[in-house]
């Protein structure tokens, strides 16, 4: 990136440039100065116009930053060109003026509440108004390999008028930085309110100035990592932690008709292929109810066929020896298992480790080694599924559901009581809407602080 773009961000100068606590502290202070000058008082409408136009540009094949993402992205990120194109298109398609307005309205009751004190009808009856403001500086500690969650955080932070310092995840800072460049290019004043850098985990001396300067810290990571970060943050500051989560899918027997099941399997395969299954929202396994016209095992085979087809249009791309080694080892194991019993079947790409489907009669909850490796298991009904998935309870983000319309509400209620925070149709697991409540929490509501004005 450094060869083709200016060094606007610390990330651009790395790894050569040596980061010190002083550099981080000064960057944070500069961000806050820029925010006061350019961002804090920018009208929400204007901000929304800038962001939605930028998102529109990102969907245009001639947009130089998109071209760079697709041309250089495969070597920089490991995702194939078509996987990147698909993922970026789905992501930016959601960043529209309407959606951004709706997001603020959903979160704050009215989309102008960041500009001036306003009241909702309920507040008006009490003769009061309220004004929401975002943090002065948000420090994001990102993790995982997907660029979208980081870019979404950046957009949300800008919407509430906050400067942001993003500590990128290892090997995952390239695309968010490219996005920041596109922002800088379109609106230098907005770009000047964002900083990105990366340093290996455990360098607490670099995190300390960020934690000191920021008034809100968001972090994603393992629960232990979050707990450790929280202990280093002044308790008066806001800390928003998102633990790693798993997701899975549930296919109701009534959806397994001969007419519907092939299309459903194709959508399931897309959920597995999107971002190579590497996000918290990607399915680890698919529970398929027995009793449908298409048996669970046959449905697994349909997913395999769909993954094989997808490999020609959205190839997975290269992965590290450790990742492919894990897949090869797992395949070896399931081959031994399937050879010895009729309860296990495995389908896999003819060459390489591109995709794998493992069908097992044993319904025990199993996590996948990802990179397009999916487990398919038959299940009697929803109750049985929740029983066997008990070990994952509290750590599940999304359940992709295919069920008859009339049954879905009951299913959603059961899943919600069990602890699931997002239910969506098959084919949309990796594409949460803009207003998605991450871990069941309000995306902007968590960031802002209210000032109530009683009249």
Partner 1 sequence: MTFQSYNEADRSITRFIEQGDGDFETLALALHDLQARYVPAIAALCQNRGITPGSNHQIHQIPAIPTIAFRDMAITSIPEQDRIHHFESSGTTAAKPSHHWHHRKSLKLYETSLRLPFQKYVLNGKKWKGRILALTPLRTEAPNSSLAHMASHVLGSDTIHAAECCDNGWNINQHICDTACEQAILSDDPLLIFGPAFSFLHWLDATDTLHKLPQGSRIMETGGYKGRSRELPKNEFHKLLSERLSVPESHIVCEYGMCELGSQAYDREIGTRQERAFRFPHWAQPIIINPETGNPCAEGEIGLLRIIDLANVYSSVAIQTQDLARSVLDGFEVLGRDQAAEPRGCSLNLLQQT
Binding residues (CB under 8 A) for partner 1: these are 78, 143-145, 170-171, 220, 244-246, 276-280, 282, 284, 319-330, 332-333, 335-340, 351-353, 364-371, 391-392, 395
| Residues whose CB falls within 8 Å of the CB of residue 405, separated by 6 or more in sequence, listed in order | none
CB 138 within 8 A of CB 447: yes
CB 253 within 8 A of CB 290: yes
Residue 94 or 348 having the CB closest to partner 1: 348
What's the closest the beta carbon of residue 209 comes to partner 1, in angstroms? 26
Residue 222 or 262 having the CB closest to partner 1: 222
Q: Please report how many Cα atoms fall inside a 13 Å half-sphere around the Cα of residue 264, on the Cβ side.
A: 27
| Residues whose CB falls within 8 Å of the CB of residue 113, separated by 6 or more in sequence, listed in order | 104, 130, 131, 132
Residue 8 or 359 having the CB closest to partner 1: 359
What's the closest the beta carbon of residue 110 comes to partner 1, in angstroms? 35
Distinct helix (H) and strand (E) counts, the chain: 17, 14
What's the closest the beta carbon of residue 315 comes to partner 1, in angstroms? 13
CB 48 within 8 A of CB 101: yes
From the list 140, 103, 133, the residue with the least C-alpha distance to 240 is: 140
Residue 169 or 264 having the CB closest to partner 1: 169
Residue 145 or 408 having the CB closest to partner 1: 145
What's the closest the beta carbon of residue 452 comes to partner 1, in angstroms? 38
**CA angle at 153 for the pair 280 and 286, rounded to the nearest 5°:** 15
What's the closest the beta carbon of residue 64 comes to partner 1, in angstroms? 27
Residue 138 or 327 having the CB closest to partner 1: 327
What's the closest the beta carbon of residue 379 comes to partner 1, in angstroms? 17
Residue 283 or 296 having the CB closest to partner 1: 283
| Range 387-392, long-range pairs (CB < 8 A, 24+ positions) | 388/363, 388/364, 389/248, 389/287, 389/365, 390/365, 391/365, 392/246, 392/248, 392/365
**CA angle at 217 for the pair 212 and 222, rounded to the nearest 5°:** 120
What's the closest the beta carbon of residue 77 comes to partner 1, in angstroms? 10
């Amino acid at each position: 990136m450094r060869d083709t773009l200016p060094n606007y961000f610390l990330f651009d100068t790395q790894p050569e440039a040596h980061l010190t606590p002083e550099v981080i502290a000064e960057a944070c202070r500069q961000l806050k100065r820029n925010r006061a000058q350019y961002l804090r008082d920018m009208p929400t409408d204007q901000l929304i116009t800038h962001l939605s136009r930028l998102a529109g540009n990102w969907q245009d094949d001639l947009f130089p930053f998109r071209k760079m993402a697709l041309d250089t992205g495969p070597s920089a990120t490991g995702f194939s060109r078509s996987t990147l194109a698909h993922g970026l298109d789905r992501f930016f398609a959601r960043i529209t003026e309407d959606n951004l307005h709706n997001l603020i309205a959903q979160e704050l009751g009215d989309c102008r509440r960041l500009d001036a004190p306003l009241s909702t009808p309920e507040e008006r009856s009490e003769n009061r108004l309220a004004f929401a403001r975002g943090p002065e500086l948000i420090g994001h500690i990102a993790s995982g390999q997907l660029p979208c969650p980081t870019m979404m955080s950046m957009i949300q932070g800008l919407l509430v008028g906050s400067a942001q310092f993003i500590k990128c995840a290892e090997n995952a800072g390239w695309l968010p930085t490219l996005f920041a460049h596109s922002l800088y290019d379109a609106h230098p004043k907005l770009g000047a309110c964002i900083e990105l850098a990366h340093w290996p985990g455990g360098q607490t001396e670099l995190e300390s100035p960020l934690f000191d300067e920021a008034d809100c810290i968001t972090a994603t990571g393992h629960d232990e990592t979050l707990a450790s970060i929280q202990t280093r943050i002044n308790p008066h500051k806001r800390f928003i932690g998102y633990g790693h989560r798993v997701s899975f899918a549930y296919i109701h027997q009534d959806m397994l008709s001969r007419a519907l099941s092939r299309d459903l399997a194709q959508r399931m395969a897309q959920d597995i292929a999107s971002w190579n299954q590497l996000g918290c929202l990607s399915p680890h396994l698919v529970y398929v109810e027995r009793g449908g016209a298409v048996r669970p095992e046959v449905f697994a085979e349909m997913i395999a066929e769909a993954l094989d087809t997808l490999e020609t249009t959205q190839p997975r791309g290269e992965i590290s020896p450790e990742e492919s080694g894990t897949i090869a080892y797992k395949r070896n194991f399931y081959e031994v298992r399937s050879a010895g019993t009729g309860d296990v079947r495995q389908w896999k790409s003819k060459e390489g480790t591109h995709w794998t489907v493992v069908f097992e009669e044993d319904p025990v909850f199993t996590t996948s080694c990802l990179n397009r490796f999916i487990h398919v298991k038959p299940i009697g009904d929803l109750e049985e599924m929740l029983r066997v998935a008990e070990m994952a309870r509290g750590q599940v983000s999304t359940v992709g559901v295919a069920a008859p319309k009339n049954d879905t509400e009951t299913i959603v209620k059961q899943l919600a009581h069990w602890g699931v925070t997002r239910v969506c149709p098959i084919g949309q697991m990796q594409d949460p809407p803009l207003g998605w409540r991450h871990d069941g929490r309000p995306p902007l509501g968590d960031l802002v602080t209210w000032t109530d004005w009683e009249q």
